[in-house]
Amino acid sequence: MNEKILGIIGIGICAILLFGVFMAVNKVPAPQVIGGSTEKINTVSVSGVAEQKVTPNQAVMRLSVMTESLTAKNAEEENSRTIDAVMKALKAQGVDEKDIVTENYNIYPHYDYEPMSGRSVNKGYRAQHTLRVTVHDIEKAGEVLDAAVSAGVTNVDSVSFTLSEEREEAIREELIEKAAKKARERAEVLVGALGGKVGKVVAVSESSYTPPIYYARDVMSSKAESAPGTPNYTPDLNPDDVTVEMQINVEFAIE
């Protein structure tokens, strides 16, 4: 009996020893960092700002035609006739068809409040069609506006002066180059004063760039009763220069 117990104990000890050897041979190695570097790079962050005065080279007009009638159908038909006349007048002034875009169109019931009855009474329907017209020759903007109002435009919602996409992109590239040079010059002065030398670019970012929009002064909100071309009819369509600004943020390594 004792011999059997001793035999079982011996087998157990052997099993434990064999398991220990197996774990030692197949032990998973600890993670190692290969090729890493703990060296810290010294950097300097600076900003370069460039600005330029430019003259807007296109006008954008928002022109509306509003018509009223007892029925929606009549209001729509009358509005359509007037819009056709306005578009013909615009094209006669040299405005390309692709530069005349419908921005909004609505037909809705028209109500008037009657004090005697204290009620809102349906007076029929209104149709409103708004066009966005882009004029690439600013010097002709006044003539174009006169022609549109004479043809039936009832509301001049706004006249703004902006840069064309081509002009905007050209100015943006010029400002980026100037701002980047100013950023490096600033970094060299700063680092040089401390006895260092500016190295390669580590990071660079561009601040938001939005060319300003200039709105014409004294643009009428409704159709003028005076004759086309009179001072009360044509607003001031001579745009002022606007300032476009660009900021570049650059991080340089210090050697």
171-175, 187-191, 239-243: lowest mean pLDDT where?
Answer: 239-243
Which position has the higher pLDDT, 19 or 96?
96
Please name the residue that has the structure tokens 């009638």: 69
- To the question of pTM greater than 0.75 for the whole model, the response is no
| Radius of gyration, CA atoms only, the chain | 38
Confidence of residue 204 (pLDDT cuts 50, 70, 90): very high
Confidence of residue 208 (pLDDT cuts 50, 70, 90): low
The DSSP call for residue 222 is S
Please name the residue that has the structure tokens 């692709």: 98
Which position has the higher pLDDT, 45 or 117?
45
Helix pair angle (72-92, 141-151), 10° resolution: 150
| 233 and 156 Cβ atoms separated by less than 8 Å | no
Instruction: Identify each DSSP E strand in 74-118 by its residue range.
Output: 100-114
Helix, strand or coil, per DSSP, at residue 210: coil
* Mean pLDDT for the chain overall: 81
Report CA dihedral (179, 181, 182, 186) to the nearest 10 degrees: 140
Mean pLDDT calculated for residue range 56-80: 95
Confidence of residue 217 (pLDDT cuts 50, 70, 90): low
Closest CA to 141 of 87, 61, 197: 61
39-43, 55-59, 95-99, 157-161: lowest mean pLDDT where?
Answer: 39-43
pLDDT of res. 29 = 47
Tokens of 115: 């004090």
Mean pLDDT calculated for residue range 163-190: 92
pLDDT digits (tens, 9 = 90+) for 2-44: 555 445 545 555 555 555 544 544 554 444 444 444 567 799 9
pLDDT digits (tens, 9 = 90+) for 159-176: 988 888 898 889 989 999
With pLDDT > 90 as the criterion, what percentage of the chain qualifies? 51
